[in-house]
Amino acid sequence: MMVNLFNVFDMSSEKTPIAPASNFIRGIIDRDLAQGTNANRHWAGTPGDAAHHAAGQPDPAKIRTRFPPEPNGYLHIGHAKSICLNFGLARDYEGVCHMRFDDTNPEKEEQEYVDSITEMVQWLGFGWEAFGKSHLYYASNYFEMMYQAAEALISAGKAYVDEQSAEEMRINRGTLTEAGKNSPWRDRSIEENLSKFREMRDGKHADGSMVLRAKIDMASPNINLRDPAIYRIKRAHHHNTGDQWCIYPMYTFAHPLEDAFEGITHSICTLEFEDQRPFYDWVLERLAEAGMLAHPLPKQYEFARLNLTYVVLSKRKLIDLVENKHVSGWDDPRLPTLAGARRRGYTPEGFRLFADRIGVSKSDSWIEYTILEDCMRETLNLSAERRIAVLDPIKLVIDNYPVDSNGKSQSEDCFAPNHPLKPELGKRTVQLTKELWIEREDFMEEPSKGFFRLVPDGLVRLRYGYVVKCTGFDKDANGNVTTVHCEYLPDTKSGTPGSDSVKVKGNIHWVSANHAYEAEIRMYDRLFKEAHPGAGDRDYLDDINPNSVTTITAQLELSLKDAQPAESFQFERHGYFVADRKDSVAGKPVFNRTVTLKDTWQK
Ligand code: ATP
Ligand code: MG
């Protein structure tokens, strides 16, 4: 299903971002708060929170959500939806969102990912300091408690050590239409299970020789409840716990425990975990019965993940694009990683607006890339100062403009507003001289109907300057126009009483050739030319847009020489551009096109 939200929301640029729309998760939280579902929660003892939540003390946070990435990759635009949702709820409901690294899987995690993830969450405008402490957690710090939870299940007769081979387990699991078969090890005694599990922990058994399984129901219509594995043997070095453990919890067992240990109230995940929810509840309820956890328990809610047209978000494909050099790196401005989006000039405000605008639903859908671009346009329209840039320059010579006795042009101040919506930002001075740069497309030798810019014998206003009349033009050997000649009308300067004396229909921008900063600009476009890269039996790599970046040399107004890395501007009539945060050096910024002024993709 393709959702076009243009009809639903007012996209006019003057509007400030809309307040977060209500959604089904907010509905659940409103209900829980009204009913006091999570009031007076007391702590069973959370390693991370122990210091803050003395036993028996009620939780100061009204709700607790979490963002639990595995530190095995870079965040992308899909994660931004989850971050804005979880941190946004915590912000709006006087709660806290835990920043939790789900690092229970040994080997895969790296510090580089941890650093980049925390940086991006903060860049999006969120934090985890609340109620006097930091709520940044590592799931691997709970290994001992998870182990105790597993022993508690064994002691309650709810888990057993299975010595079937992986192949036997797979066969005995059954299918969607057939019930599974009980393992021959399923009915060992509690004592035997406990001692076998301790042997697993103590390294007495080979990797893969046995697993601990929850004892639920091999005939359950939900395959996830057919005695899922909860601990496996794996001799692997862990970045946090080193070689302390040779058994590791399975994700589906670890996750509800992490939530419970941290006192999460609303555990929000994507729809593919819906079938896991019964197991999530099963684990927590059994442990509550065993006295290890206290009610109220965390509850899992699922929402539709973000699918965005013209983008791939799968970790495998992103790695592929980077490693096979289809892009320049993880922060290539064309990649949908947050590091790439930031370098492209996308804004945190734009992402938050986007998250609010697309909302949260229970059914999968595709969101049009244009909606994201519009959110960036809207926020940049408010924040970015205006500047002048000539991207495809040709010369305009004002033949009657005064020169001194050496033939040097007079130089004259013109005043350009920094932001039409924010007069308080004032005006800046741009120099007008005899020779200017103008856009090639602003002159037409044989004008088409409705072309009101520069044409032979025609009048046009030089924006913030004078009205000029075109008097001729020069061409090179190939017939391309190189220089346009004109004469100015001295009484018509913008901002003077004479400015209205001559009426013109067109208005063009320019940069003084004596006061220009010649700069490299990367004109970025979409990375894929198809809305659904790789749909059908196409290879998604074949859908790469061959023109996703073009590097040009442009003539910019001189003030842009001082642009700071990551500073964004609207180049009048062209779009939004940002000084590249990596490749700009002081006094010599290079610019990335963030987004055009209008949606030109469909044309
Ligand atoms: P993996 O395949 O490694 O699990 P992942 O993209 O799910 O990849 P995680 O680190 O597990 O990566 O993601 C962290 C959180 O971000 C999860 O809670 C997940 O639900 C959420 N998330 C990931 N992709 C999307 C998406 N496209 N839209 C919304 N949320 C997402
Ligand atoms: Mg995941």
CB 209 within 8 A of CB 166: no
* Residue 420 is labelled as binding a ligand: no
E strands within 167-262? Answer: 211-214, 229-233, 247-249
C-alpha span between 34 and 39 (Å, rounded): 10
Task: Report the chain's mean pLDDT, rounded to a whole number.
Answer: 93
Structure tokens belonging to residue 325 = 């050099």
- Residue 8 has a pLDDT of 34
C-alpha span between 257 and 70 (Å, rounded): 16
Q: Residues 400-426: pLDDT tens digits?
A: 999 999 999 999 999 999 999 999 999
C-alpha span between 486 and 397 (Å, rounded): 6
- Residue 49 has a pLDDT of 52
> For the purposes of burial, counting CB atoms within 10 Å of the CB of 323, is it exposed (0-12), middle (13-18) or buried (19 or more)?
exposed
Task: Report CA-CA distances (Å) from 268 to 81, 105, 310.
Answer: 12, 21, 26
CATH superfamily of 146-249: Glutamyl-tRNA Synthetase; Domain 3 (3.90.800.10)
DSSP annotation string for 558-603: GGGGGPPTT-EEEETTTEEEEE-TTT-BTTB--EEEEEESS--TT-
pLDDT above 80 (res 17): no
- Residue 46 has a pLDDT of 55
- Write down the architecture of domain 516-603 according to CATH: Beta Barrel (2.40)
CB 510 within 8 A of CB 463: yes
C-alpha span between 327 and 334 (Å, rounded): 8
Average pLDDT over residues 250-271: 96
Phi-psi region of 4 (alpha: psi -120 to 50; beta: other; left: phi over 0): beta
- Residue 22 has a pLDDT of 83
Phi-psi region of 136 (alpha: psi -120 to 50; beta: other; left: phi over 0): beta
Q: Residues 61-106: pLDDT tens digits?
A: 999 999 999 999 999 999 999 999 999 999 999 999 999 999 999 8
Q: Among candidates 49, 67, 69, 68, which has minimal Cα distance to 58?
A: 49
Structure tokens belonging to residue 57 = 């003390």
CATH superfamily of 386-514: Ribosomal Protein L25; Chain P (2.40.240.10)
- Residue 3 has a pLDDT of 39
pLDDT above 80 (res 135): yes
CA–centroid distance for 491 within its chain: 51
C-alpha span between 241 and 148 (Å, rounded): 17
Query: Higher-confidence residue: 166 or 46?
Result: 166
Structure tokens belonging to residue 117 = 């993830």
pLDDT above 80 (res 571): yes
For residue 249, is the peptide bond before it cis, meaning its omega torsion is within 30 degrees of 0? no
438 SS3 class? strand
273: which DSSP letter?
A: G
CA of 446 to the centre of ligand 1 (A): 55
Question: Is ligand 1 within 6 A of the CB of residue 70?
Answer: yes
Summarize the chain as % helix, strand, coil (round to 5).
30, 25, 45
Structure tokens belonging to residue 109 = 């995690």
C-alpha span between 100 and 87 (Å, rounded): 12
Per-residue pLDDT band for 600 (boundaries 50, 70, 90) equals confident
What count of other Cβ atoms lies within 10 Å of the Cβ of residue 161? 23
Chain region(s) in the chain for CATH 2.40.240.10: 386-514, 516-603
- List alpha helices for 303-431, DSSP H: 315-323, 338-344, 348-358, 369-383
Residue nearest to atom 15 of ligand 1 (CA): 69
Per-residue pLDDT band for 253 (boundaries 50, 70, 90) equals very high
For residue 402, is the peptide bond before it cis, meaning its omega torsion is within 30 degrees of 0? no
CA of 240 to the centre of ligand 2 (A): 20
Residue nearest to atom 4 of ligand 1 (CA): 70
Q: For residue 307, give the ligand 1 atom closest to its CA.
A: 27
Q: For residue 83, give the ligand 1 atom closest to its CA.
A: 16
Average pLDDT over residues 36-54: 61
CB 359 within 8 A of CB 327: no
CB 437 within 8 A of CB 389: no
Chain region(s) in the chain for CATH 3.90.800.10: 146-249
C-alpha span between 394 and 510 (Å, rounded): 10
Name the β-bridge partners of 161: 212
pLDDT above 50 (res 44): no
CA–centroid distance for 507 within its chain: 37
Q: Residues 269-308: pLDDT tens digits?
A: 999 999 999 999 999 999 999 999 988 999 999 999 999 9
Would the CA dihedral through 88, 90, 96, 97 be positive or negative?
negative
CA of 317 to the centre of ligand 1 (A): 14
Q: Would you please indicate which residues are annotated as catalytic (active-site) residues?
A: 70, 305, 315
pLDDT above 70 (res 228): yes
Residue nearest to atom 2 of ligand 1 (CA): 315
